[in-house]
Amino acid sequence: MQLLHDVTDNQREAIVHIEGPLLIVAGAGSGKTRVITRRIGYLMSQGVSPYNILAITFTNKAAHEMGERVKQFSTNKGLWVSTFHKMCARILRQNVDRLGYSREFSIYDSADQLSRIKAIMAEFKMDTAQWKPKTIISAISTAKNKLIGPEQFSTTASGYFNEHVAKIYTKYQSILKTDNALDFDDLLIKTIELFQTHADILELYQERFKFILVDEYQDTNYAQYTITRLLANRYRNICVTGDPDQSIYGWRGADIRNIMDFEKDYPDARVVLLEQNYRSTKHILHAASSIIKRNKYRKQKDIWTENVLGEKIRVIACENEYAEADEITKLIRACRNDKDFKYSDIAIFYRTNAQSRVLEKALRNYAIPYTLVGGLAFYQRKEIKDLLSYLRLYVNSNDEVALERVINTPTRGIGDTTVNKLREWAASQGKNLVYAIQHVDLISEIKGKTALAIKRLAELTAHLQTLPNAPVEEILKQAIDKTGYIAFLKVSGEGERETKDRIANVEEMVNAAHEYDMNYSEGTAQGFLEEVALVSDVDEMKDVAEGVTLMTLHTAKGLEFPVVFITGMEERLLPHTESSDSEEKVEEERRLCYVGITRAMKELFITHAKRRTRYGETTFSVPSRFLSEIPKEILETIDKTDRRDCSSSFFAKGDDFGEPVFSLDREQDTFGPTDIKPKTPSASFANGEVVRHPVFGIGRILEVYGSNDKASVKVNFNVGGIKSLLLAYAKLEKV
């Protein structure tokens, strides 16, 4: 049988298992996706209807690829291959009226959520400088993923912060209900609420999904775990795959215990280990294994490969982040020119998004094309959000966040004062902003041109709603035409290039709608919005990028590249400074490092800097403890520090990578600030003076402040930008 052709004994065991719980512990690069898709194909070959199979992945991209692979073996008509959020949205579209919502509900993304939270905080007269809105959103999200609603949160809240969060949480959920909207977390918890309060609906989906497969189970949170358990309770034909060693999303609620305790939840579960790696060289795999075995909380497995030994892992010590970026660009050119790798074969990983700026600059300086994953995504661009808001109003006339966005876009003469009057009147009537613009004639304080502008906006939204079941492309074109949106962009005051880019984005948005209409003969505007709302950074990646790929280590999970660079391998970056107070968090950082290493197929480069600027301060760094956990015999260490002027090397064109001379022995490391004694500045400095720094080169002093050993300067360097430096350490000289 083709399904069982060219598989290992362990892979075969996982594929042919039919009834009862199954745990597949799949090491990195072990062919997990292949096993899952063939298992689905095998189930159907044994008479299981695709209608009775549910497969859950963590990205739309992965879901699409899995669906396409299954087609090789059998028809997938009726098969659900979906993310958790998309599955829940689909269930709620059919049943959310049971919970008092309309089926045309909007899905609020993170930007919409932030807008709502800020508005509530303004109403409560809370200072956003003191109370960070994103921190409050995170607290609410954490509560939701633990299935703690606003009432329970309010009754158990202790402490000043939580008491304020409780007030905001309660108000926020009330507004969502009024707006007929759900946020991402609500998609999960409302599905659970639906299942727990309506036994008939739960039974309906239990009967439908007699066989359930969940990929990346180590990344599930408590809400996702609960949904899975509820659906699987009747037939218990649940198969989960994952790798505890790749559990890296604890910060967003993922609970490694879900996979670690699977055998406790299902004592009769069969466990299959997939330990053979088909992706990486022996050296790369040896490095990864040496690091991850230091973790205590894990399922023991020994990944191995029949692949070649491969190149040693190159570890490069650089003077600063600019020198680091410079070395990486030169190595990339060498990979392309000397080893015939394509730019698309190469990826650069970093721990924090802030690290990408210097890397991008270096790539641009060397004319190396690149793709930044996790930058401002297409559907988050201003003009795209504007058009999506019109589309959202077409679907859900109660979507107040969408209305707020377009109420004066394009400019209609409806300013903040008028909007506040509309709000006040709406509140006095117990209604929302949407109701107010529809009844502006009843508001005596709003007259003349302003009232006329509001009427025209109400007429526009009403007109759009007269296009039932129209193609999404047509609705968008109508919105663009009736609002004069292109003309608005042309006179909006942006530069010529930016204006052209924004118009091009609008055109691409129409193309996306056209593509959706072509691919989904029964598609709707609601369906299109759902696709857009649930898209991720990885989903937006092109299958074959034209250039080098830049992304965070977290985003890199599930991907692979022939050549990988892991940058900033330093204490306080990897492991991150926020993990230092917890061994549990350090273990997650180690898993993150493991994930990064195991993305590499043929060559792996690791870089770290002697100095790095963070939060405007340049500090000394020490190599990450994870480097010392890799056997030295598989490393080629290269020291590029102690240059005469490393800032000038940022633009250098040479390809000399130096000789391996530095030690990774942390006990012998001399990079730390404790090893440097402060010196009294030898000369005074004044604002406006031109100075030279041994690392950053030439710059001009913007500000002198502090005294004695705290004496500091803020300098705008030609290469490094604005830096704040302690004079005791800076080694500045006047030019």
Q: pLDDT of 330-341, one tens digit each?
A: 999 999 999 989
Average pLDDT of the segment spanning 671-694: 57
Amino acid at 274: L
Closest CA to 565 of 290, 345, 243, 291: 345
Query: Does residue 578 have an active-site annotation?
Result: no
Above 70 in pLDDT, residue 656? no
pLDDT-derived band at 663 (thresholds 50, 70, 90) equals: very low
Has 625 been annotated as catalytic? no
Residue 630 has pLDDT above 80, yes or no: yes
Sheet containing strand 270-274, strands side by side: 80-83, 53-57, 211-214, 238-242, 22-26, 270-274
Sheet with strand 733-734: strands edge to edge: 611-614, 617-620, 721-726, 712-717, 697-705, 690-693, 733-734
What is the pLDDT of the chain when averaged over all its residues? 86
Catalytic residue among 246, 329, 355, 409: 246
pTM of the model: 0.78
Cβ-proximal residues to 29 (8 Å cutoff; 6+ apart), any chain: 277, 278, 279, 280, 303, 305, 560, 598
What does the angle CA 195 – CA 198 – CA 202 come to, to the nearest 5 degrees? 45
Q: What digits encode the pLDDT tens for the residues 391-449?
A: 999 988 889 899 999 998 998 889 889 988 998 898 888 888 888 988 988 998 898 89
CB neighbour burial string for 456-493, b if at least 16 within 10 angstroms, e if fewer: ebbebbeebeeeeebbbbebbebbbeebebbeebeeee
Select the more confidently predicted residue: 542 or 593. 593
Band of the pLDDT at 692, cuts 50, 70, 90? confident
* Residue pLDDT, tens place only, 487-516: 998 887 667 778 887 888 888 888 888 888
Both tokens of 539, joined, read 């989903």
- Residue 214 in contact with residue 190, Cβ under 8 Å? no
Which is catalytic among the residues 8, 12, 33, 423? 33
Q: Residue 667: pLDDT above 60?
A: no
Determine which one of 104, 215, 386, 603 is catalytic: 215
- 246 flagged as catalytic: yes
Q: Tell me if residue 216 is catalytic.
A: yes
Q: Residues 576-587: pLDDT tens digits?
A: 988 877 889 999
Q: What is the CA radius of gyration of the chain?
A: 28
Whether the predicted pLDDT of 649 surpasses 50: no
pLDDT per position as a tens digit, 229-263: 999 999 999 999 999 999 999 888 899 999 999 99
Which pLDDT value is given to residue 545? 55
Over residues 596-628, the pLDDT tens digits come to 999 999 999 999 999 887 656 778 889 999 999
Angle at 136 between CA 108 and CA 154, to 5 degrees: 100
For the stretch 153-206, pLDDT in tens is 999 888 888 999 999 999 999 999 999 999 999 999 999 999 999 999 999 999
- pLDDT for 14 equals 95
Does the pLDDT at position 668 exceed 60? Answer: no
What is the helix, strand, coil percentage profile of the chain, to 5?
Answer: 50, 15, 35
Which residue, chain included where needed, has tokens 């102690």?
642
In which band, very low, low, confident or very high, does the pLDDT at 675 lie, cut at 50, 70 and 90? very low
Question: Per-residue pLDDT for 662 more than 60?
Answer: no
Q: Please say if 599 is a catalytic residue.
A: yes
Annotated catalytic, 301? Answer: no
Residue showing tokens 């362990």: 10
* 680 pLDDT higher than 50: no
Whether the CB-CB separation of 140 and 409 falls below 8 Å is answered with no
Distance of alpha carbon 562 from alpha carbon 221, whole angstroms: 32
User: pLDDT by residue (tens digit) across 82-103?
Assistant: 999 999 999 999 999 999 999 9
List 38, 39, 591, 599, catalytic entry:
599
pLDDT in the model for residue 150: 94
Residue 595 falls in which region: left (phi positive, over 0), alpha (psi -120 to 50) or beta: alpha
Which among 32, 38, 392, 723 is annotated as catalytic?
Answer: 32
- The length of the chain is 735
Q: Which residue's structure tokens are 């918890």?
A: 189
Closest CA to 299 of 269, 340, 339: 269
Cβ–Cβ contacts within 10 Å for residue 304, how many? 14
Count CB-CB contacts under 10 A for residue 182. 25
